[in-house]
Structure 1
Amino acid sequence: MKKVFILIFICFNLTIINAQKKSVKYGILEVYENYKSVNVQARNIGVWLPQNYSPKKKYAVLYMHDGQMLFDSTTTFNKTEWGVDECLTKLMREGKIKNTIVIGIWNTKENRHQEYFPQKPYESLSKEEKENVGVSLKKIGMSAEFTPSSDNYLKFIVEELKPFIDSTYSTLIDKENTFIAGSSMGGLISMYAVCEYPNVFGGAACLSTHWPGTFEVENNPIPEIFYNYLTNNLPKPNQNKFYFDYGTEELDALYPPLQTKVDAIMKSKGFSNENWITQKFEGENHSENAWKKRLHIPMEFLLKR
């Protein structure tokens, strides 16, 4: 047993040693390639450290989904990025936000929808409704055998990744300094993360939140199960923050009436401007370029000094 433990410990430390430094415009990006997990498929993890990062200081931590899309447009499939390093560097220099490091969790492409789809709401669907969801997703090339795995994905972040980050970097480990963010399906899983782990994550930034779950609105039961879930599972408004937004073009054109219903729930639960914001961006579409332009708004809201 002792030999097995030593071997596991050595392998884990090799993962740490083998973090590769990548070039970004501001700060340093350390990438842990093929990071292993007992809960989800292995993936790359990027850790962005701001300029002049020092172990003598303590940093808030922002976990972000779709990690390969955050920092470097030369390596993304569509040659666009969020510009996270530029945004946070500017805000920190101006003294508008806390010293912060960003953890970019790469998606695994084939499992992205399963990992980002809130699992407990899905499980409240009837058998027929689940089958219809599978049929709808099959139309866009996904398997009709759709089963969310978001509970394991969140368990990976909370029970495996966060302890590693907190033991490797100089972080503030409390929920007041731990946040989560994403767009589209990444917005859904960020909302779900705070509701499931309100004592771990102090707030979520949900950009262009994909409330339909699939890509159809007609006869779609999914938004309703999200409304029910929020009604029954939102944390107390004085304990956590939520940021939602949406554009009005392309896929985002589906969101305004759905977000309006979410906003009504937020109000009914006592959320106010101090702990909840919803923003509409007229003429903006569903893209990294759109999210890049407005990223500073949720960052200031969540990470304000």
Structure 2
Amino acid sequence: MRLNLTLVLLLTLVWAVGGARTETSSKKAMKHRFVFYPKDNPTTVVLTGDHWGWNPAAVPMTRQSDGTFTVEVELEEGAYLYKFVADGKWYHDEKNPNRVSDGFGGFNSILVIGSGKSKLPLRRSTLLNLAASPVEFRVQGVPSDFKQGWIPVRFEEGQLVYDDREPTATHGRLLLSAEMLSLPQEKGTSHSLAPRQIFVYLPKGYFTPGSKHRYPVIYLHDGQNVWDDDRCCFGHGGWHLNTLLDSTTTLPQAILVGIPNSSARLAEYGLGADILRLRPSPYHRFLREVVKPRIDQDFRTRRDRKHTAVMGSSMGGIVSITTGYVYPDTFGVVAALSPAFQVPDAQGRTLLDVVKKHGRGRFRLYVDNGTAGETQDGAPLTREFVNLARQKGWKDGVDFEHFEDVGAAHNERAWRMRAWRPLKFILESRSR
């Protein structure tokens, strides 16, 4: 059954978690008792969800004598997505059968308070609502008289700090845009993409005196997660792509552009209202009309499609593939790690339906997956996509590569370990 149809049915249900009780409060809200049943012996457990902005420290839970953790929360009538965070690890509620994909290879549990009718548009609004706060980063130690357009930065214990070290021939440089980049809102539309700062990695050798060498560019989604930040990504650490290119002696060098996601990640990266029309979303337009021109203007790039790639994981893998379909004359190479092929558009169609209707895209394509976890990192659906891609004309060793990382989970640690594969595919590209 399509995920969106499942969600519509689930949002009409009223249920209790693990036999928990609900009671009406005087504020026309309801108190709900959440219960977490740990499989081991965690020290701390926290309740979080969309209502709390997915803050991993949102609502601490209390250990009971039977080993469970509980908390009672007052919520207004509606539908809520939630998870438990036990000692930093995220879990859906196994006692609650009502769940949807979280876009990361796992599930979000669904709680409906009251009739749920006030939140029945949740499915469509979750897929289409771009409302989000600006994505801005605090950098420590920036000189008060700093006036340049790009701030040199590095990560120290999970914090961005000003990098006053001189560039060398053996280490690239990580930069953060000093200003927020934004997509002008179209007249007569309600689509307003959150403005954001972006990251750029300039490779070793870029600052060689007198050099006029131009570099291919890889645009990376979830761009705050792809650097050497060991504290990010739910404890898994970042992808370390900057240190990977610093240390490699075999891969060609490239400029990397990290575009951070906002809290409206599902709407930004998702398939929108009708993916079969292949119309650019606000995020697609932001990438092509705002980010790429700025990068081409400020840095020594190779601007043609063969040397311009998009890359991402999970939902970032999905938007990488749709970017290739929507803008084939701009982005000629696509890399999708553990893509969330199960996520539909508002009509219930997925990327498999796109390939069935539109055939092979005019771009080189790398796809991979793991096999671990309750969803097997989406392996069954990825294999189905791969078989379909081959049927539609992508050729292994020419313009297509699929890698199955047996035993790998759906997280940044796994993607970091195999990131060299898509980089090799992109940077050692064969001309079509």
Normalised-by-shorter TM-score class: 0.7 to 0.9
Q: Are 1:262 and 2:385 matched, yes or no? A: yes
Structure 1 209/164 Cα, relative in aligned 2: closer, same or farther at 3 Å? same
Q: 1:277 aligns with which of 401, 407, 411?
A: 401
Distance 2:224 2:377 in 1: 26
Counterpart among 318, 328, 342 of residue 212 in structure 1: 342
Residue 206 (structure 1) shift: 0.3
Offset from partner CA, 1:79-119 (integer Å, 9 cap, x none): 4010101222344x32x33x3100000111x2111100022
1:29 aligns with 2:174: yes
**Residue pair 1:119, 1:150 contacting (<8 A) in 2 also:** no
| Residue identity opposite 1:297 in structure 2 | R
| 1:173 aligned onto 2:318 | no
Query: Are 2:206 and 1:53 equivalent residues in the alignment?
Result: yes
Higher relative contact order (CA 8 A, sep 6+): 1
For 2:330 and 2:308, locate their aligned partners in 1 and report how far apart those are by CA, in whole Å.
Answer: 7
CA contact (8 A) 1:251 1:286 kept: no
Classify 1:75/1:49 alpha carbon distance in 2 versus 1 (closer, same or farther; 3 Å).
farther
Change (3 A) 1:294 1:259: same
Aligned counterpart for 2:227 among listed residues 60, 64, 71:
71
Distance in 2 separating the partners of 1:259 and 1:230: 13
Code of the residue aligned with 2:350 in structure 1: it is: I
Taking the aligned partners of 1:243 and 1:77, their CA distance within structure 2 comes to 23
**1:57, 1:156 → 2: CA distance?**
27
Separation in 2 of the partners of 1:265 and 1:47?
35
Out of 319, 325, 336, the position equivalent to 1:195 is: 325
**Equivalent residue, structure 2, for 1:104:** 258
Mark the runs of 5 or more structure 2 residues left unpaired by the alignment.
1-145, 156-169, 185-192
Letter in 2 for 1:27: G
Write 1 or 2 for the structure with the bigger share of helix. Answer: 1
Q: Which one-letter code corresponds to 1:228 in the other structure?
A: D
Give the direction of change, closer, same or farther, for the CA distance of 1:76–1:175 in structure 2 (3 Å limit): same
> Secondary structure, in 3 states, of the residue corresponding to 1:255?
helix
Q: TM-score, normalised by structure 1?
A: 0.76
Give the corresponding residue for 1:184. Answer: 314
The answer for the alignment partner of 2:357 in structure 1 is: 232
**Structure 1 residues 252 and 243: CA distance shift in structure 2, 3 A:** farther
CA contact (8 A) 2:174 2:242 kept: no
The aligned length equals: 255
Distance 1:16 1:255 in 2: 46
Partner in structure 2 of residue 302 of structure 1: 426
Deviation, structure 1 residue 123: 7.5
Relative distance call for 1:240 and 1:114 in structure 2 (3 A) is same
Q: RMSD across aligned C-alpha pairs, in angstroms?
A: 2.6
Please report how far the alpha carbon of residue 251 of structure 1 lies from its aligned counterpart in structure 2 after TM superposition: 5.8
SS in 2 for 1:250: coil
Moved over 6 A (4+): none
Q: Is the contact made by 2:343 and 2:350 (CA closer than 8 Å) also made in structure 1?
A: no
Deviation at 1:260, TM superposition (A): 2.0
Change (3 A) 1:287 1:16: farther
Matched, 1:38 2:183: yes
